[in-house]
Amino acid sequence: MESHLNTYLLLLSLIGFFWLPVTFGQQEPTISFISKEKIVDLGETVELSCDTLYASGYAIQWIKLSDPVIILSSGSTNYLGDRIMVVRDGDKYKLHIRDVREVDNGEYMCRITMVSSSSNIQASVNLTVRIPPVISDDSTRHVITSVNTSKVTLKCFANGHPKPRISWRRDGNKELPGYGAHFIGSELVLTNISINHQGTYYCIADNGVARGDRRAVSVEVEYPPLITVPKERVGQALNHNQLLVCKVRAFPLASISWYKEGDDYQENLSNSKNYNISIFQTNNEFEFTTILRVQRIEKRNYGRYYCQASNKLGASKASLELEETQNVICPPDCSSIYSDYGSGSFSSLNQQSSALIYYYLVITIFAKLYQNFLF
């Protein structure tokens, strides 16, 4: 009898030895599901889910793996400020984040805390917050250079997620010197600077989020004055007026003057009985038109004239010749006598002619009627 009892106890021990580990192994807590990577835009709401098995009685935590690490929950329901909330729904632990911000970007871990920290059960998921591009303040805003400079670099940097792509284009879709219609890259290098490089360039940052960002970069090129003369030889009769015209382009703006040169003299001109100097700005802020009006021309006023312009980079001049003619040249400018004749006398003559034609037609009609009446 005693031997049977010992055998029975031995069998129970053997059954317990094999059955207990299997039973407890099946009850080992585990994370059965965690959300896949989430990609959201700023201001949206996102939910991260962590599903567990056999985790009753264990502490379940959502943790943001940042520096420092942030523990977001350690209980069934937690409100972490106004935006972040953790809710338990049975064996599911859901992390809700509303009004997503840039600081929410990163890796989140769901952890079942065991007795020994080395045996903690955990799984993680990435939250990617898409952030529209913003061009940084260390990007180029304005450049002043001068002709013949070997190289100028325009820089543009932008923050955002995904990483923004930087491209360049020019105002009015003008060609980028040396690149064509557009260029991709954070640094636009302009070489062998000339006047053609002057203008507005646009740095454009785009990463597919919202409308992107854009910044205008002004490039100003300093150069010595350039003078063009629409008509180098002009004529006019004695006692009448004439205009001498020069177009001046320069940056910085140039000082402009006129002088007359003879065989053995040079006369600097200013406003007087015979001369009047005018300067007008064109549609281009760096281009001016200067006009010398020679009034009531005398014999001594014929000859060679010069318009001259200068700035800190140099000076330039152009010559014009005023010649005597027998006939009055009109336009661009004639005497007041001819102007009055043109605006007044011709008008009066036209009115008189119209009246004569009207009376002639009336008399002719009455004559025809009278002739028909008689016959």
The model scores a pTM over 0.75:
no
Amino acid letter, 252: P
**pLDDT tier at 2 (50, 70, 90 boundaries)?**
low
Query: Distance between CA 270 and CA 277 in Å, rounded?
Result: 7
CATH 2.40.30.10 fits 229-324, yes or no: no
The CATH number of domain 28-131, selected from 2.60.40.10, 3.40.50.2300, 2.30.40.10, 3.40.50.300:
2.60.40.10
Residue pair 270/277 in contact by the 8 Å Cβ criterion: yes
Pairing assessment for the beta strands 242-251 and 255-261 based on DSSP bridges: unpaired
pLDDT in tens, 127-182: 999 999 999 999 999 999 999 999 999 999 999 999 999 999 999 999 999 899 99
Q: Which class would CATH give 136-222?
A: mainly beta
Distance CA 336, CA 330 (A): 12
User: The tokens of 212 are what?
Assistant: 């992107």
Q: What is the pLDDT of residue 78?
A: 67
Q: Indicate whether 30 pLDDT > 90.
A: yes
As annotated, the residues of the chain forming the CATH 2.60.40.10 domain(s) are: 28-131, 136-222, 229-324
Residue 367 backbone dihedrals phi, psi, to 5 degrees:
-65, -40
Residues 199-246: tens digit of each pLDDT:
999 999 999 999 999 999 999 999 999 999 999 999 999 999 999 999
Taking only the tens place, the pLDDT of each residue in 49-103 is 999 999 988 889 999 998 888 888 765 566 667 799 999 999 999 999 999 999 9
Around Cβ 22, how many Cβ atoms within 10 Å? Answer: 8
8 Å CB contact between 158 and 205: yes
159-163 contacts at long range (C-beta below 8 A, 24 or more positions apart): 159/131, 159/133, 159/134, 160/131, 160/132, 160/133, 160/134, 160/205, 160/207, 160/209, 161/102, 161/105, 161/128, 161/129, 161/130, 161/131, 161/207, 161/209, 162/130, 162/207, 162/208, 162/209, 163/207
Average pLDDT, the chain: 84
